[in-house]
């Protein structure tokens, strides 16, 4: 595999150099710290609150890192950012990452998992509730096209014929669900129920995870190249990020308001929404071995789930050795 | 005619339309209240005003940069194409590819290959390039040949003709290009902000707001975008109006003689082959320059390999053919419908400018309001079948075609009407006898603008609402990091658009009056 990082690297160094010339107070720190760039999976919201907390607390600096944070968006394919060398690590969905490893020979390793349980689930209105895959029969379900495969797999695992569910595209806006044009949608269960309640309806939801589709989400992915050359930085990042998440979860209502004029300014979302999100995601992320943990049972469940939909995952795609280093 | 009287009538009509909208919004008549009242939209903009400034400034900067860069390149290119017609033939494939490549396929690649703001300006400039280039070129070429004859009779070369006649004559057409380009630049900036993880911009604000199920916020963003585009549109329209009268020929010129086809057949075939090969060379060259990983960046041969010789070929071919069978028929239907509506609107603009001026702000909204924000409204009203696809397709096709046709009607020589006027013809007669026949060339220019856009519209509808066809295939392959399929769909959609585009040339040639 021939990856060309040189031009980007040059540009980045040149830009950093230019920036430093204007910010003398940062110069000392930046020269001492190792640069590391992370590509997030989406725009700034509570999904990434732990990283913002770690930055606010100076966890990356004390770990010797000069972290650059890149927000994501619908057209940002996080895996593409690490292939092109734009970022060193990316938060991804494990099914796309592993499919890219298998189908395209992409040189990726998963070194941690932000969500132990994938937050995606089926959301419906309490007045017409859908509480299990069985109840989706004959209903219209809006699903983002990239998740169609996961939903069909979940249906199959539960003995429901996908042809019995009318699957239509979902384009981020819950209005058709609230208005009853669709019966349910696939979304982050940590987020959209808040919106629905703001519109005067009650929402119910179930996780795909709880019906056999046992995958992680926001898996921390690097290229083999970065893994070989920046291992100490990656370990430091995992450690600092874990500290940030731990601090953030002491009270999920405390940190989001502190970012109202920085990370969350002008995003179009509300701080109350971020607090709801932050609170709801806590149980999906926590693990006895700490945030990002990938224990044997978890990796095995991911491999088994992905194999069941024809993605030939293997346990060696998950590299748990960096987590072991911070455990020690 | 009484100018101030007309303006008053336009104003009355505009107010009436807004009042109807207000009532429909207040009484929640449309899609269970999904269409908010204008007053609710304005109130919401006022509430959100502190949020707006950084977003508006970011979008203004990006779209203005894209507008200036895209138009500068477009005008230079049009001049080259006019002076050296072979260069137009050579670049035709590249030109149409730029116009036809769907932004949903392009943005992920731009985001990978370029850095943040550069990627966003590039998209805005790319969307601006084609309408201005086409309009300017047709303006440069569509001169009264007698004026060029005069220059050459006095010993002037083609550059003198360019300077003294063509450039001057092209200004109104160029302005009609700018009128399409202004909303295109704003939409390009917003689409790129929406997708690329930009921190600021109306597109970013829209993305964050989408999940709130609050249509007044979404419409507020759309109206703000329209206002930005409207300023650009209005300035171009003003210049167009000031220059059209000056440049309008007094009498109609005879059709220019056609070049003898037979003697140039060999050269013509060679040019066609070159025009087809050139975009692939450009594609290959850009990939070499950008140094992207071969996993992401597929070369032309890489796509051929993926589609015919890899172990994924059979599945890929099957998916692609199934998608094309769904997408192509409705594209052709949508194209004709969009063109028909553009033609009717252009007739209205010609016969009853009062009505058109009142309709214009609403037409502009459809151009700058990102469709993703309108999807809930569209599916609630039109469902998720053929109807919604046609509506979305018309909404992306009609505007460029309308502007070109309206400009075409406006350029009809005044004397052409004198005869029918003398016989007491009414407006309809005038249209039938003079305006419609005279707008023939403009109709084909409009069709060329509408064709690739129709494919784009259908793909957007498939991506956002129906979940079928080529648009859905593209979106799914993006999700699965199936780069082979992403490039294949992009290539196939360009090829389909080019085929449709060439078809308009063929029809144009076959139906040209002798």
ipTM passes above 0.85? no
pLDDT for A10 beyond 50: no
Whether the pLDDT of residue B31 is over 90: the answer is no
pTM higher than the cut 0.90: no
Mean pLDDT in chain B?
A: 84
Residues above pLDDT 70, as percent of chain B: 94
What pLDDT is stored for residue B257 in this prediction? 40
State mean pLDDT over A150-161: 91
What mean pLDDT do residues A158-183 have? 91
pLDDT tens for B441-467 read 788 888 887 887 888 889 989 988 898
pLDDT of residue A26: 45
Residue B344 has pLDDT above 50, yes or no: yes
Asked whether the beta carbons of residue A103 and residue B113 sit closer than 8 angstroms, the reply is: no
CB contact under 8 A, A100 and B481: yes
Instruction: Assess whether A104 and A232 both reside in one domain.
Output: yes
For residue A188, is it within any domain?
yes
Q: Mark yes or no for CB contact B197/A72 under 8 Å.
A: yes
CA distance A42 to chain B (A): 7
Q: Are residues A49 and A129 in the same domain?
A: no
Q: How many angstroms separate the CA atoms of B88 and B99, rounded?
A: 15
Of A3, A181, A192, the CB nearest to B211: A192
HSE toward the beta carbon, residue A212, CA cutoff 13 A: 16
One domain for residues A300 and A312: yes
CA distance readout (Å), A270 to B221, B328, B399, B438: 17, 42, 36, 56
Residue A295's pLDDT band (cuts 50, 70, 90): very high
Contact at CB, B380 and A176, closer than 8 angstroms: yes
Q: How confident is the model at residue A88 (pLDDT cuts 50, 70, 90)?
A: very high
Does the distance separating the beta carbons of B478 and A77 come in below 8 Å? yes
Q: What is the pLDDT of residue A59?
A: 96
Quick one: A273 and A174 in the same domain?
no
Query: Are residues A280 and A323 both part of a single domain?
Result: yes
The owner of tokens 């998950």 is: A318
- A149 and A257 inside one domain: no
The answer to whether domain B37-250+270-292 and domain B298-514 are alike in fold is yes
- Find residue A66's DSSP bridge partners: A35
3-state SS, one letter per residue, for chain A? CCCCCHHHHHHHHHHHHHHHHHCHHHHHHHHHCEEEEEECCCCCCHHHHHHHHHHHCCHHHHCCEEEEEECCCCCCCHHHHHHCCCCCEEEECHHHHHHHHHHHCCCEEEEEEEECCCCEEEEEECCCCCCCHHHHCCCEEEECHHHHHHHHHHHHHCCCCHHHCEEEECCCCCHHHHCCCCCEEEEECCCHHHHHHHCCCCEEEEECHHHCCCCCEEEEEEEHHHHHHCHHHHHHHHHHHHHHHHHHHHCCCCHHHHCCCCCCCCCCCCHHHHHHHHHHHHHHHCCCCCCECCCHHHHHHHHHHHHHCCCCCCHHHECCHHHHHHHC
Question: Would the CB atoms of A268 and B205 count as touching at under 8 Å?
Answer: yes
- The full set of domain ranges for chain B reads 37-250+270-292, 298-514
| A266 contacts B210? CB cut-off 8 A | no
User: Minimal Cα–Cα distance from A41 to chain B, Å?
Assistant: 9
Is residue A10 a part of any domain in this protein? no
Same structural domain, A90 and A168: no
State the best of A46, A151, A192, A268 to mutate against chain B, taking most chain B CBs within 10 Å.
A268
Looking at domain B37-250+270-292, which of 1.10.240.10, 1.10.3720.10, 1.10.606.20, 3.40.630.30 is its CATH number?
A: 1.10.3720.10
Residue whose C-alpha is closest to residue B421's, from B434, B439, B408: B434
- Does residue A111 sit in the same domain as residue A124? no
User: Cβ–Cβ of A43/B197 closer than 8 Å?
Assistant: yes
**Is the Cβ–Cβ distance between B183 and B326 less than 8 Å?**
no
**Contact residues on chain B for A43, CB-CB shorter than 8 A:** 197, 204, 207-208
Statement to judge: residues A111 and A221 lie in one domain = yes
B204 vs A43, A77, A178: nearest CB? A43
Print burial letters for B482-504: b (CB count within 10 Å at least 16), e (below 16): bbbbbbbbbbbbbebbbebbbeb
Spatial contact of B158 and B79, defined as CB atoms under 8 Å apart:
no
Q: Which of B113, B203, B376, B468 to probe by mutation at the A interface, max A CB count within 10 Å?
A: B376
Query: What tens digit of pLDDT does each residue of B91-112 get?
Result: 888 888 888 787 777 887 788 8
Distances from the Cα of B494 to the Cα of B185, B334, B447, B470, angstroms: 21, 17, 16, 12
Chain B residue with Cα closest to A101: B481
Kindly tell me if the per-residue pLDDT of B29 is higher than 80: yes
Task: Report strand pairing: A217-223 vs A89-92.
Answer: antiparallel
Q: Which of A70, A144, A149 sits opposite B197 (nearest CB)?
A: A70
At B482 the pLDDT is 82
pLDDT band at B41 (very low <50, low <70, confident <90, very high): very high
Query: Which of the four pLDDT bands, split at 50, 70 and 90, describes residue B352?
Result: confident
Q: Measuring CA to CA, which residue among B124, B127, B164, B137 is closest to residue B75?
A: B137
- Write out chain B residues lying below 8 Å of A149, CB-based: 480
- For residue A194, the domain's CATH number is 3.40.190.10
Asked if residue A16 is part of any domain, the answer here is: no
The reply to whether residue A195 touches residue B211, judged by beta carbons under 8 angstroms, is yes
Which of A186, A211, A236 delimits the end of a domain?
A: A211
Query: pLDDT per residue over B254-294, tens digit each?
Result: 444 444 455 567 777 887 788 888 888 888 888 888 777 78
Q: What token pair was written down for A309?
A: 């939909």
Identify the domain boundary among A211, A231, A246: A211
Residues 84-103 (A) with a CB less than 8 A from some CB of B: 84, 86, 96, 99-100, 103
| Residue B360 to residues A54, A282, B23, B174, Cα–Cα distance (Å) | 51, 51, 20, 19
Count of pairs with CB atoms under 8 A, one residue in A, one in B: 175
Q: Which of B206, B379, B466 sits opposite A176 (nearest CB)?
A: B379
Looking at the structure, tell me whether residues A139 and A171 fall in a common domain.
yes
β-bridge mates for residue B280, sequence order:
none
pLDDT single digits (tens) B204-236: 999 999 888 888 999 999 999 989 988 888 888
pLDDT of residue B143: 73
The number of folded domains in chain A is 2
Last-in-domain residue among A190, A211, A232: A211
B215–A171 C-beta distance less than 8 A: no
Lowest-confidence region among A31-40, B49-58, B185-194, B474-483: B474-483
**In this predicted structure, what is the pLDDT of residue A9?**
46
Cβ–Cβ gap A106/B295 under 8 Å = yes
- Closest residue in B to A261 (Cα–Cα): B51
Each residue of A213-267: pLDDT tens digit? 999 999 999 999 999 999 999 999 999 999 999 999 999 999 999 999 999 999 9
Residues A277 and A226 in one domain: yes
Q: Which is higher by pLDDT, B320 or B463?
A: B320
- Judged against a pLDDT cut of 90, whether residue A191 lies above it is answered with yes
In terms of residue numbers, what domain contains A71?
33-117+215-327
Which CATH number is B298-514 given? 1.10.3720.10
């Amino acid at each position: 595999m021939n990856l060309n990082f040189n031009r980007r690297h040059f540009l980045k160094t040149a830009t950093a150099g230019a920036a430093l010339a204007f910010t003398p107070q940062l110069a000392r720190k930046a020269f001492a710290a190792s640069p590391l760039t992370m590509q997030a999976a989406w725009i700034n919201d509570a999904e990434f609150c732990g990283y913002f907390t770690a930055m606010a607390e100076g966890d990356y600096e004390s770990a010797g890192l000069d972290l650059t944070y890149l927000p994501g968006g619908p057209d940002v394919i996080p895996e593409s950012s690490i292939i092109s060398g734009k970022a060193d690590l990316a938060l991804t969905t494990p099914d796309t990452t592993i499919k890219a490893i298998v189908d395209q020979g992409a040189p990726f390793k998963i070194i941690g998992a932000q969500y132990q349980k994938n937050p995606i689930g089926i959301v419906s209105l309490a007045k017409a509730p859908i509480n299990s895959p069985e109840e989706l029969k004959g209903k219209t379900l809006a699903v983002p096209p990239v998740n169609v495969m996961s939903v069909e797999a979940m249906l199959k695992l539960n003995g429901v014929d996908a042809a019995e569910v009318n699957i239509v595209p979902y384009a981020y806006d819950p209005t058709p669900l609230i208005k009853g044009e669709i019966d349910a949608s696939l979304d982050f269960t940590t987020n959209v129920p808040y919106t629905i309640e703001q519109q005067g309806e009650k929402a119910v939801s179930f996780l795909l995870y709880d019906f056999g589709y046992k995958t992680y989400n926001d898996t921390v992915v690097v290229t083999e190249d970065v893994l070989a050359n920046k291992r100490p930085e990656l370990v430091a990042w995992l450690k600092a990020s874990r500290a940030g998440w731990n601090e953030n979860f002491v009270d999920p209502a405390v940190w989001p308001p502190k970012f109202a004029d920085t990370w969350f300014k002008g995003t179009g979302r509300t701080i109350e929404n971020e607090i709801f999100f932050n609170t709801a995601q806590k149980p999906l992320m926590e693990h006895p071995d700490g945030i990002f943990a990938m224990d044997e049972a978890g990796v095995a469940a991911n491999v088994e789930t992905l194999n069941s939909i024809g993605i030939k995952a293997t346990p060696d795609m998950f590299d748990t050795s960096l987590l072991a280093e911070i455990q020690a | 005619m009484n100018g101030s009287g007309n303006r008053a009538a336009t104003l009355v009509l505009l107010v009436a339309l807004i009042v109807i909208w207000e009532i429909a919004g207040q009484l929640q008549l449309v899609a269970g209240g999904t269409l908010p009242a204008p007053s609710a939209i304005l109130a919401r903009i006022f509430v959100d005003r502190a949020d707006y400034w950084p977003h508006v400034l970011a979008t203004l900067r990006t779209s203005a940069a894209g507008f200036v860069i895209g138009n500068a390149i477009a005008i230079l290119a049009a001049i080259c194409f006019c002076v050296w017609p072979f260069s137009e033939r050579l670049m035709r494939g590249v030109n149409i590819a730029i116009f036809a490549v769907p932004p949903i396929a392009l943005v992920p690649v731009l985001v990978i290959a370029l850095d943040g703001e550069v990627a966003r300006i590039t998209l805005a400039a790319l969307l601006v390039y084609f309408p201005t280039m086409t309009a300017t070129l047709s303006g440069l070429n569509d001169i009264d040949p007698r004026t060029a004859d005069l220059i050459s009779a006095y010993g002037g070369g083609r550059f003198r003709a360019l300077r003294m006649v063509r450039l001057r004559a092209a200004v109104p057409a160029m302005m009609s290009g700018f009128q399409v380009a202004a909303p295109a630049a704003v939409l390009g900036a917003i689409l790129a902000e929406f997708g690329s993880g930009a921190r600021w911009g109306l597109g970013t604000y829209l993305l964050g707001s989408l999940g709130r199920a609050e249509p007044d916020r979404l419409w507020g963003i759309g109206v703000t975008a329209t206002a930005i585009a409207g300023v650009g549109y209005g300035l171009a329209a003003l210049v167009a109006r000031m220059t059209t009268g000056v440049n309008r020929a007094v009498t109609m010129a005879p059709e220019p003689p056609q070049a003898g086809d037979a003697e140039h057949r060999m050269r013509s075939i060679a040019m066609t082959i070159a025009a087809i090969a050139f975009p692939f060379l450009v594609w290959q060259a850009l990939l070499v320059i950008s140094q992207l990983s071969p996993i992401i960046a597929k070369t032309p041969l890489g796509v051929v390999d993926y589609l015919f010789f890899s172990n994924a070929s059979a599945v890929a071919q099957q998916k692609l053919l199934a998608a094309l069978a769904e997408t192509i028929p409705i594209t052709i239907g949508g194209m004709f419908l969009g063109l028909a509506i553009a033609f009717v609107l252009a007739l209205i603009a010609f016969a009853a400018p009062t009505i058109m001026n009142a309709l214009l702000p609403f037409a502009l909204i459809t151009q700058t309001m990102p469709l993703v924000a309108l999807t809930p409204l569209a599916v609630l009203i039109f469902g998720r079948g053929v109807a919604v696809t046609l509506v979305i397709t018309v909404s992306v096709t009609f505007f460029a075609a309308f502007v070109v046709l309206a400009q075409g009607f406006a350029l009809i020589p005044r004397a052409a009407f004198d005869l029918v006027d003398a016989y007491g013809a009414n407006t309809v007669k005038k249209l039938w006898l003079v305006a419609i026949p005279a707008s023939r060339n403009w109709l084909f220019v409009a069709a060329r603008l509408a064709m690739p856009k129709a494919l784009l519209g259908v793909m957007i509808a498939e991506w956002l609402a129906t979940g079928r066809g080529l648009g859905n295939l593209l979106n799914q392959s993006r999700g699965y990091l199936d780069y082979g399929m992403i490039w294949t769909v992009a290539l196939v959609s360009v090829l389909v658009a080019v085929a449709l585009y060439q078809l308009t040339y063929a029809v144009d040639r076959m139906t040209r009056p002798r």
